[in-house]
């Protein structure tokens, strides 16, 4: 009987050892699976966050491009001519100028906070806007007094120069923005 009891004990111990070993292997596999799942969740979150950031950056760059285009158009020789022929008053031009300044401030903030490489040119555009405004305001004032204005008037030629400079600076900023869009798009591509 001792042999049969001993065999039973050995069989029970072997069964317990097998159960313990199986439980240990399952526990290790489960821990590895959980670690893998956690890693893939983190990677998925990182990819999604990166994609969101790319979309936000692209949207910001497009908004900046539109603002630059609007400033170029507003402070162009064509707009100057349109406003002059429309007999715009000083007060209405001041109101118009203040509205566009708010949009220029948006552009300046975006450049300073997100696109510092374009910031200096955006600030120069802002300075030229002020020069344009001062000279166009003088043109309107002279017109309101009944003065004859021709293309040799210094304030008219200075407004033209400011408009040309705004156009050139705006084009430079838009080239920078287009390059940035390309960089952002390329960063999101997977190499094959």
Q: Look at residue 189 in the predicted model and tell me its pLDDT.
A: 57
Q: Is the pTM of this model over 0.75?
A: yes
Distance CA 89, CA 84 (A): 9
Q: Which two tokens stand for residue 101?
A: 């300044």
Give residue-wise pLDDT tens across range 107-127.
999 999 999 999 999 999 999
Residue ranges covered by each domain of the chain: 62-187
Q: Which two tokens stand for residue 51?
A: 């994609």
2 to each of 12, 15, 39, 59, 91, how far by Cα in Å?
Answer: 15, 19, 54, 84, 115
CA angle 4, 7, 12 (to 5 degrees): 125
């Amino acid at each position: 009987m001792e042999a049969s009891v001993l065999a039973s004990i050995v069989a029970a111990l072997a069964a317990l050892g097998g159960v313990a070993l199986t439980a240990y292997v399952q526990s290790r596999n489960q821990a590895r699976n959980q670690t893998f799942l956690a890693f893939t969740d983190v990677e998925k979150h990182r990819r999604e966050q990166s994609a969101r950031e790319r979309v936000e950056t692209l949207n910001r760059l497009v908004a900046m491009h539109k603002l630059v285009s609007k400033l170029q158009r507003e402070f162009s020789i064509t707009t100057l001519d349109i406003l002059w022929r429309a007999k715009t008053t000083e007060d209405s031009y001041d109101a118009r100028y203040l509205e566009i300044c708010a949009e220029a401030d948006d552009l300046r903030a975006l450049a300073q906070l997100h696109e510092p490489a374009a910031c200096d040119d955006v600030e120069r555009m802002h300075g030229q806007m002020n020069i344009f405004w001062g000279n166009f305001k003088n043109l309107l004032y002279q017109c309101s007094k009944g003065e004859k204005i021709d293309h040799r008037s210094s304030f008219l030629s200075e407004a033209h120069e400011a408009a040309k400079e705004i156009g050139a600076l705006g084009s430079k900023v838009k080239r920078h923005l287009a390059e940035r869009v390309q960089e952002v798009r390329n960063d999101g591509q997977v190499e094959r």
